Structure 1
Amino acid sequence: MTTVLIAKRLAWLALAASAAFSSLISHSQTRSSTLAETMVTATRTEQPLADLVADVTVIDRDQIERSGATGIGDVLVRVPGVEMARNGGPGGSTSLYLRGAETRFTAVFVDGVRVDSQSTGGASWEAIPLPQIDRIEIVRGPASAVYGSDALGGVVQIFTRKGQGPFTPFAGVGLGTYGTRKWEAGFSGTQGQVDYAFSLAREASSGFNVRLLPAPPTKPYNQDDDGYTSESVSGRMGWQLNDAHRLEASVLSSNTDAQYDSANTAPRSTYDDHALHLLQTKGLNWRARWSDRYSTLVSLTESRDQYETRPTGLASTYLTMTRLNGYLWQNEWRVGAHQLTAVLERRADYLENGLTVNPRTAIVRDRSQDALALGYGWRQQQHSLQLNARHDQDSEFGGKDTGSAAYAYALTSQWRATASVGTAFRAPTLYQRFSIYGLAGLQPESSTNQEVGLRFAQGTSQFDWVFYRNLVSNLITYSNSATGCANGTGCYVSTAQAEYAGMTVSLRQRVADVNLQASLDVQNPRDSITGKPLGRRAFQHANLAADTRWGRWMVGGNLQLSGDRYDDPANNTILLPGYALASLFASTRIEKDWTVLARIDNLTDTPYQLASGYATSGRSLYVALKWAPLR
């Protein structure tokens, strides 16, 4: 597909979306704006959504509960600009593509604690427990000038529950298709100057056979159902020492045990393979406001990501563990319309990999990155400007500079135009450099992104249009023809290039008593050298959602659409057909403190694949009952 053809297609779709939006406005009822909501992820400082130049989305707890989803990927895939690939059910290995970028190109945080794997690269999405999440903030577009390594495609920050108001307990149970059962319980509140929140949850499912038939004769996978169990706990406690100083601590722990069918089960097809995943985060923050103009944040964080594979009854066959330690000192000055930030940050990565397989080829390595980041924001009348610059000094490969500039101009009180440019990078993982499949001389993957956008906001009406082009160099891929590899058959190399170009249109509108949301993504993520599309990413994907009050019930539905995708980017021979998934939900308060939710997913029982050879769930029903006393 030529650049001219892409531009024509995108322009036509933009005009069609604008026309549809104009039609919606003409039939709308105007209500008070909700854009007073704030976000911290875009610049690491709290700002109103209406002031941000970045392309962002916020998901709250109500939206998560109405989704009836089991995994965080099933929630995020309904967000503009996000796609998902998964090996089987909710417990299977999950990848999320933000604006088509590799899953390792999204920086992920839980309560400010960075989560990453120095083995596979990127966050382990299947290990993040959805029941513990209260809020999700998504920033689309490179953000390395704020966060350093990893944020080539964007940033996702996850927040657990936070205490407020009087003591409030809650409990819930749920049952669903495939033997799915859930329970959760917790409490939150405040006592004097202390606020607290604690919750725990357990999910389990008998699952379904994730391997599609027929199986290869040489690899007769175990044809059992592949279920999972997940147990998680989270807690946050804050102490408001006085009007100017606050201490806060947060912890999260999640254990997941997911069955899968190994590709190496040919001589032992009756074995029951398990993938065990442990994810833990810990954070300690001190926020201080020294004057009306100057405030600081000091943060100490640690995360642990451990992945283990084990057939039933046997010793561990593979074990990898990543530990990340973070140290942050953030300074913020606000003077009139000006905001300045200065951040000193240190990140220390540690990897243990393969000790249980072969100690001679195992990896026990560490590294660190020290950074200075500067930011400047200015907002006055029609103008908004955000500048960021950052220098990271890596203990292995040296220094890396990144920067970004974003500008917005209010054309009218409802319309605003935006433009931005930014650079980003991701340091190669310790596995990519020091395993038998790695090269120690790998350089960071680097990107340059350009984007323009247009936003309309008035009452309950909102329209966003963004066009972006992100060029990545030194893209790390695995090559069978590479030389100098320790294993002699191939290794990781940083010679590829990629282009992620596309357009996102999103609409939000209230018509009569119905809330409508829609988004459309048209993109062309491709290998810049071969020109072939990148794997498991569609040229078009879209979401439609609607909900309304019907008597005592809240009812709604969602339609998720995805075009064709290639599973194998090298040859483009395995085509994953497009699909359309419909879902319906209904919820109501049956007593003062009791709420019931019913949801049907994949209403039409559509067969589809997110990864070649792996099955996905058919039509499924989920019913949940929750007790939470009204305040």
Structure 2
Amino acid sequence: MRACAFLSLAVLSASSSFAQDGPRQLALAASVPQLSEVVVTATRTEQPLSDVLADVTLIDREQIERSGAITVSDLLARQPGLELSRSGGPGTATGLFLRGAETRFTAVYIDGVRVDSQSTGGAPWEAMALGQVERIEIVRGPAAAVYGSDAVAGVIQIFTRQGEGPFTPYVGIGAGNRRTGTLEAGFSGKHDVVDYSLGMQRDVSRGYDSRPGANPDLDGYRQTAASGRVGVQFSDAHRLDLTGTWTNMDAQYDGFVPGLDDHGLNRLATLGATWSAQWARQYATRLSVSESNQRYETLPSPYLSKTRLRNILFSNQWREGAHTLTAALERREDHLVNDPIDRGRHQDALALGYGYVAGVHTLQLNLRHDRDSEFGGQTTGGAAYGYSFAPGWRATVAAGTAFRVPTLYQRFSEYGQAGLQPEKGRNIELGVHWAQGASRFGATVYRNRVTNLINFGAPGPCAGLFGCYENAGNARLRGVTLSGAHRVGGVNLSASLDLQQPKNADTGTLLARRAQRLLKLAADTRVATWNVGAEWQAASHRWDNAANTRRLGGYGLVNLYASTTIARQWDLLARIDNLGGKTYQLAAGYPALPRTFFVGLRWTGR
């Protein structure tokens, strides 16, 4: 890992010594967006990327297609500050840690629709399909002053495809080892004032033995996904957007009873409607109504959990010169059915924001008050300031508070306690960023302290014989993230290095399944008609349990990919993941995916 760190810093430092190269950006592991791009997740309003003070990563469609990833979580694990935990192959229980924080501390949205589980807590990453995704925005750092409960470590928003231009159909087919196959089809376009997009995808794999010795069978998956979007531009000032997604995942896994053919059935659906209005040059509003439903069932083991989330958001924005004022009213409703639980709750919130961009100064202030039907009032705030001290350079400082209310399962299941209190976070971070053309460098130092941490403790306070949820911990999440990209000759380079200390503040032990060092390198170039590239992901050792007695070894993975246009409307993609066949585990007893290769062919009716 020392050699990895040195190589990463060498790549990052090249951004200043080779700044005279012409700008050119290709999709790389550490996302390198152009400054002209617009971000909506950081403040829930459209902002030029150059005005955003948060630590942000953008992933576009080109990166997604070239990644060869099967799930959203696989793709995100290749980004700075993120790491993956999974009990088997795609479709099995998945955790995604942002800056070392638990999965439940990242707020997740699909086309503006909130996604969460009131059973396990956090987004059901194993149920999210990647095929219909157009763009992903990652915002690191607490954002509860904008989004309310859940955004303790950050926010991830996923956007599906939007229609533009003439009617364009597409069809894709792909195959890989372990009888892996994919088939996709769809169309998009725009006619007069209506734009539209519709797509479907089917993925299957025979899989591999994800828990050797427990049940000697192959654990594969079958996934079907669809998404649709319709937008109507009634006039220059008024627009209506309707969105919907649906994913059904059937993943085999090895449970605790030998001989059973265990299946995890995970279904996720979202619906959203948004009316955007520009009433005057300075004043705009947005009204959104949305609902998401997640259903998780295991067979033949009898378990069924259903989460329904509903949101109503009315936001207002006033722009006047260098000043931007925002005000939003939001209603959130959560409901869980998990026998014998059949309960719901709601939160009503008022959120205020102020932004200032002028000359070398950028300022963002946010304040939000949530009134929970069970926990009463929760007030959160955030403040960030940026100073451009030299051409291309900017220093930033930010601080914010956050919270997450316990899930309904944590409170009312046989393992729960109704008296659990919300978990709370307090974060401060410093950053320095440089950009010139397509070259980038960034360094962020952060410290996030989480109190009232909910852990699964000893039996006694609840009816469960195996243990009970309790507010019995405090976490201290500290670290530094370095990232950068540059073009040297004909080769595009990118790198990110995370040095982090996600620890239990009471015991000093590392939090389970989180590495202290993460390194991600990537390079790509063009050879004749081919775009070819390589990625290297490395992680130091982790501990599988809170006591730090079960060690998970570190690992390094090499991935290769190549793509070309073989005819006017035909594109070919080939990819090999885990080239060296590295054997490693993200959860004890569950080997991660071995060497995987995939070849795909896609036709687009341009």
Q: TM-score scaled by structure 1?
A: 0.93
User: d(CA) in 1 for partners of 2:540 and 2:273?
Assistant: 44
- Residue 168 of structure 2: aligned partner: 168
Any idea what the Cα deviations from partners look like across 1:596-615, whole Å, max 9, x if unmatched? Answer: 00001100111010000001
Measure, in 1, the Cα distance between the counterparts of 2:465 and 2:218: 38
2:29 — aligned with what? none
Structure 2 Cα separation of the partners of residues 13 and 26 of structure 1: 20
Determine the structure 2 residue equivalent to 1:539: 516
Shift in Å, 1:16: 9.0
- Please state if 1:25 is matched with 2:3: no
Is it true that 1:565 corresponds to 2:565 in the alignment? no
Q: Quote the Cα distance in structure 1 between the aligned partners of 2:490 and 2:39.
A: 28
**Alpha-carbon distance in 2 for matches of 1:121, 1:621:** 33
The amino acid that maps onto 1:332 is: Q
Which residue of the partner structure matches residue 110 of structure 1?
Answer: 110
2:461 aligned residue (459, 463, 484): 484
Whether 2:486 is the aligned partner of 1:497: answer no
Equivalent AA in structure 2 for residue 30 of structure 1: G
1:242 aligns with 2:235: yes
Q: Once the two structures are superposed, what CA deviation does each residue of 1:394-442 show, in whole Å capped at 9, x if it has no partner?
A: 0011110000000000011211000000000001000001111111111
Match of residue 403, structure 1, among 369, 376, 381: 381
For 1:542 and 1:14, the matched residues in 2 are separated by 7
Q: 2: distance between equivalents of 1:19 and 1:197?
A: 43
CA, structure 1 residues 568+544, in 2 after alignment: closer, same or farther (shift >3 Å)? same
Residues 1:15 and 1:261: Cα distance change in structure 2 (over 3 Å): closer
Q: What displacement does 1:19 show?
A: 6.4
- What is the alpha-carbon distance in structure 2 between the residues aligned to residue 41 and residue 296 of structure 1? 16
**Does the residue aligned with 2:69 lie in a helix, a strand or coil?**
coil
After TM superposition, the structure 1 = structure 2 runs for residues 408-423 of structure 1, keeping only pairs within 5 Å, are 408-423=386-401
1:463 aligned to 423, 441, 452, which one? 441
| Secondary structure of residue in 1 paired with 2:444 | strand
Q: Using the TM superposition, give the Cα deviation of residue 13 of structure 1 relative to its aligned residue in structure 2, in angstroms.
A: 11
1:286 corresponds in structure 2 to 275
Deviation of 1:114 (Å):
0.2
Shift of residue 487 of structure 1?
Answer: 2.9
Gaps spanning 5+ residues in structure 1: where?
A: 1-8, 216-220, 355-361
SS class of match (2:333)? strand
Q: What SS does the aligned partner of 1:43 have?
A: coil
Distance 1:210 1:14, change over 3 A: closer
In the TM superposition, residue 21 of structure 1 has moved relative to its aligned partner by: 3.4
* Per-residue Cα deviation, 1:54-103 (whole angstroms, up to 9, x for no partner): 00000011101101111111110110000000011111111000000000
Mapped to 1, the partners of 2:562 and 2:176 lie a distance apart of 15
Shift of 1:474: 0.3
What residue number does 1:506 align with? 483
- Displaced runs of 4+ in structure 1, greater than 4 A? 12-20
Are 2:602 and 1:617 aligned?
A: no
8 Å CA contact 1:370, 1:394 repeated in 2: yes
Alignment of 1:9-24 (within 5 A): 21-24=12-15
Cα 1:19–1:126 change in 2 (3 A) is: closer
- Supply the AA of the counterpart residue of 2:603: W
Matches of 1:549 and 1:119, distance apart in 2: 47
Letter in 1 for 2:579: L
Amino acid aligned to 1:191: H
| 8 Å CA contact retained: 2:110, 2:159 | yes
- For 2:605 and 2:228, the matched residues in 1 are separated by 20
Amino acid at match of 2:90: P
Aligned-pair CA distance for 1:486: 2.5
- Verify the 8 A CA contact 1:389 1:402 in the aligned structure 2: yes
1:31 is displaced (CA, Å) by 2.5
- d(CA) in 2 for partners of 1:281, 1:23: 44
Where does residue 42 of structure 1 map in the other structure? 42
**In 1, Cα distance between the equivalents of 2:217 and 2:6?**
50
Q: 1:455 to 1:491 in 2, by over 3 A?
A: same
Contact 1:592 1:629 in 2 (8 A): no
Q: Deviations over 1:122-180 (max 9, x none)?
A: 00001011111110000001000000000111100000000000000001001011110
Maintained 8 Å contact 1:14/1:465: no
Query: Over residues 267-286 of structure 1, what are the superposed CA-to-partner deviations in whole Å (9 max), with x where a residue is unaligned?
Result: xx332111100100000000
Structure 2 counterpart SS, 1:366: strand
Number of aligned positions between the proteins? 597
Q: Establish whether residue 387 from structure 1 lines up as the match of residue 365 from structure 2.
A: yes
Match of residue 353 from structure 1: 338
Q: Give the SS at the match of 2:287.
A: strand
- Cα 1:295–1:24 change in 2 (3 A) is closer
Alignment partners' CA distance in 2, 1:197 and 1:20: 40
Contact 2:4 2:519 in 1 (8 A): no
Distance, in Å, in 1 between the alignment partners of 2:467 and 2:571 is 56
Matched, 1:53 2:49: no
Tell me: CA distance 1:485–1:249, structure 2 relative to 1, closer, same or farther (3 Å).
same
- Give the conservation status (yes or no) of the 8 Å contact 1:82–1:99: yes
Distance 2:188 2:571 in 1: 18
Query: Is the Cα–Cα contact under 8 Å of residues 106 and 156 in structure 1 kept in the other structure?
Result: yes
- 2:175 touches 2:181 (CA, 8 Å); kept in 1? yes
Higher RCO, Cα 8 Å, sep 6+: 2
What is residue 188 of structure 2 aligned with on the other side?
Answer: 188
1:255 alignment partner, one of 248, 261, 279: 248
1:513 shift after superposition: 1.7
Do residues 224 (structure 1) and 217 (structure 2) align?
yes
